[in-house]
Amino acid sequence: MRSDFIRTYSPRMEALARAQAQTRVSAAIRQPEVDSADPLAAFRVKKEPYYRPVADEVELYEAAYSVRMPMMLKGPTGCGKTRFVEYMAWRLGKPLITVACNEDMTASDLVGRFLLDVQGTRWQDGPLAMAARYGAICYLDEVVEARQDTTVVIHPLTDARRVLPLEKKGELIEAHPDFQLVISYNPGYQSLMKDLKQSTKQRFGALDFSYPSHEVEAEIVAHESGVDLETASKLVHIGERARNLKGHGLDEGLSTRMLIYAGSLIAKGIAPRAACRMALVRPITDDPDMRDALDSAVTTYF
C-alpha cells in the first residue's frame, strides 16, 4: 500500500480541527463590539439612585471633583459608601466603573492585558485604563483587600502627573479631564497585613462615613424596604443595640443594609421576628450566647 494513502489518527490534530471549526462558527455569529461613539455607555448611571445626605458630603465631593481630587471613602460595611458614589456619578453625569477588589487581583486586572482571538493578539484595557482613557469615575471598592504591589499602579494617576503607564503595551495614557479615582475601605478591618501605605493615603482626600442618626436611618430603611416608619424605627433600635456589642462578642454591628433586608422581608408579609432572625441575627454570628442576646433585642421591639 502506498504511504500517501495511509491516514494516521492523531487526537491532537482532531482537537485542533474541532477548535478551528468552532472558531469559524463563533466568528460568524460574533456580536458587534462596544459602541465606538460612546465606549462608556454601559457604565452610565441612567436612573437616580436613592441617597439621603446626612451632612455636607455631597457638597464636599462636588468640590473635590471640580479639582479632580482623588477621594477615599472610609466607613463600616453597609453604611452607604457605594450608594453615595453611584449617586454622585449620576448627579455629575459621569460614567462609573466599579471594581470589587480582592487579594487575587493583579495589576493586569486593573490596567489590561494582551488577549488571543481569531485575528491574533489584541490589547484589552482593564477597568482603570478604560476609565482613565475615556473619562469615567473609577471606584475601587474595599481597596485594602488588594495586594499592595497591585495598588501602587494607581500612584501615577493620583498626583500631578495624572498618567497611567501601560508597560506591557509600551503606552502612556494621559488621564481624560473627566477622570477621577475613588477608593473605599472599612477601617474596622485594618491590620498590619491589610492597610494602605502612607504613600497611597496621602494622595487622596477623605470622607468619613458612619451609620446615620436614628431618624435619618429609619427614613432610609422605610424608603428602601417599603415598611412603615414605625417598623423601620424598631429595626433601627435593634441595629443600635447590636452595634453596642461591637468588640464585646461581635466583630461588626448590624449594617443599614441588613436592616433594609429585614424590612423587605416584613414588607413581603414575613413575621417580624422571623424576618429579623433570618436577615439580622443568623448572618452576623454563630455564637449561641450572642444569638440569644440579639434574639432578646428583637423580641423587645417585636
Cite the DSSP H helix spans in 146-255: 148-151, 198-201, 214-225, 229-243
Query: Is there a domain that residue 29 lies in?
Result: no
Give residue 180's pLDDT. Answer: 98
Residue 95, domain CATH = 3.40.50.300
Same domain, 60 and 111: yes
> Please, are residues 62 and 92 in contact by the beta-carbon 8 Å criterion?
yes
Same domain, 201 and 257: no
Positive or negative, the Cα torsion across 85, 90, 94, 99? positive
Same domain, 46 and 182: yes
Position of cell 436577615?
Answer: 279
Same domain, 218 and 204: no
Give residue 188's pLDDT. Answer: 73
What is this structure's pTM? Answer: 0.84
- Burial label, 1 (beta-carbon count in 10 A; 0-12, 13-18, 19+): exposed
CA 1 to chain centre: 67
Give residue 118's pLDDT. Answer: 83
Query: Is there a domain that residue 8 lies in?
Result: no
Q: Which residues does the chain have with pLDDT short of 70?
A: 1-36, 189-193
The total number of residues shown for the chain amounts to 302
DSSP 41: G
Positive or negative, the Cα torsion across 266, 271, 272, 276? negative
Query: Is there a domain that residue 2 lies in?
Result: no
User: Which range marks the domain in which residue 238 is found?
Assistant: 214-301
Give residue 37's pLDDT. Answer: 80
Last residue of a domain, one of 208, 229, 245: 208
Average pLDDT, the chain: 88
